[in-house]
Amino acid sequence: MLVLVIVATAFIRQPPPHKLTYLQLVIPKGWPRPTINIFANNPLTEEGFQLGRKLFYDARLSRDSNFSCAGCHQQFAAFATYDHDFSHGYNNSFTTRNAPGLFNLAWQKELHWDGGVNHIEVQPLSPLTAENEMATTLADVLKKLKRDTSYIRLFKIAFADGSINSQHLLKALAQFTGSIQSYNSRYDKVKRGEDTFTVSEAEGYKVFSARCNSCHTEPLFTDNSFRNNGLFLNKKLMDKGRMGITGNPIDSLKFKVPSLRNIPLTFPYMHDGRLINISKVIDHYRNGIDTAQPTLDPLLKKRLVISNQEKVDLMSFLLTLKDDVLTHDPRLKQPD
């Protein structure tokens, strides 16, 4: 009897045990360790990841249930919007910036083209609530989730107190998006000695190393800095990038250097998608830069000299950055 009582009280006093399967972010060989640990207060688990995955693909996270996160962040496009300068949002609206690919986010201290979001967990608040994106409210999303028995079950499994609240919603999404990694392109395989470049790709890699690598730094192919690369101000959008966040005129027209990984899938390019293909991007750096801009990056004050042959080689090198493992990873697909 006493034993029974002890067992019973022990059960009352402690929450039921959760068998969580802990996961680890992969740090590919030769990569720097992330400067921040995005999972510091959000231990990465299989259960949290799977909940985040379901949420990511769930269009009910928008006001009219038409727009999921995955609607604009498509796996086959390395989680960018394929072939769109701007993405579509609620009520036939457009976004005002080009959707970036989502991968290797654990190495990004700030998110968005202007770095306005300072933590991966709070990023979804922007698209969820923006009138030209998912156009909903956190309260509304939580109300929908609380009515769904499968979510009630999944939140219970993934988090200690099991409640459906904004923190758990955001942490689960961060576990999914923070786990999307790209390190299996042909470039990576060549680096690991599993493949070789063609002559043209090897020549292009030389051009890349000499002219592009200082901002699009390997192995992430970005140094995560904010720079003005000499694009004319888009008069319709009047988007001054980083200055909108810092309020500092020295940040006028600066945008985050995007990673070149998966570049064949993330066209069109630049923060407003104005350049439709890689050829146009290289031409911009050869002769399209607006050198009159006071905040133009010092590295671009002198135009980049890239010959036509070098351009062709550079383009073939850039194609090696496409990561088919990422775009076909069954763990990142829409759950059944």
Partner 1 sequence: MKTTLRLFAVYFSLFFFGVVSVKGQHQPNIKITFVNYTNGYPLVLDSGFTNCWKENFTVQVFKYYISNIGLQTTDQQIHREPNSYHLVDERDSNSKSWSFYLPAAKYDSLFFLIGVDSLKNVSGAQTAALDPLNGMFWTWNSGYIMFKMEGSSPQSSVINNKMEYHIGGFSGVNSTLKKTRLALSETAISVSDKSLTEIIVRFDIDKIWQAATPIKITDTPVCTTPGTLAAGIAANYSHAFDIIKIVQQ
> Is 116 near partner 1 (CB under 8 A)?
yes
> Is 5 near partner 1 (CB under 8 A)?
yes
> Is 247 near partner 1 (CB under 8 A)?
yes
Give the total of residues touching partner 1 (CB under 8 A). 32
Residue with tokens 């099991």: 162
Q: Are 328 and 270 in contact (CB under 8 A)?
A: no
Write out the two tokens for 177: 């998006």
Binder to partner 1 among 66, 129, 213, 293 (CB under 8 A)? Answer: 129
> Is 244 near partner 1 (CB under 8 A)?
yes
Which of 244/288 has CB closer to partner 1? 244
Nearest to 38 by CA among 86, 110, 102: 110
How many Å separate Cα 118 from the centre of its chain? 13
Binding map of partner 1 across residues 163-192, x = CB under 8 A, - = no contact = --xxx-xxx--x------------------
DSSP at 88? E
> Is 125 near partner 1 (CB under 8 A)?
yes
> Is 119 near partner 1 (CB under 8 A)?
yes
Which of 120/253 has CB closer to partner 1? 120
Which of 170/180 has CB closer to partner 1? 170
CA distance 269 to 54: 29
Binder to partner 1 among 47, 121, 218, 297 (CB under 8 A)? Answer: 121
Q: Are 280 and 259 in contact (CB under 8 A)?
A: no
**Maximum Cα interatomic distance, the chain, rounded to a whole number of Å:** 88
CA distance 116 to 136: 20
DSSP at 285? I
> Is 6 near partner 1 (CB under 8 A)?
yes
Cβ-based neighbours of 209, under 8 Å, separated by 6 or more: none
Q: Minimum CB separation from partner 1 for residue 230, in Å?
A: 25
Contacting positions for partner 1 (CB under 8 A) = 1-2, 5-6, 9, 41-42, 112, 116-122, 125-126, 129-130, 138-139, 142, 165-167, 169-171, 174, 244-245, 247
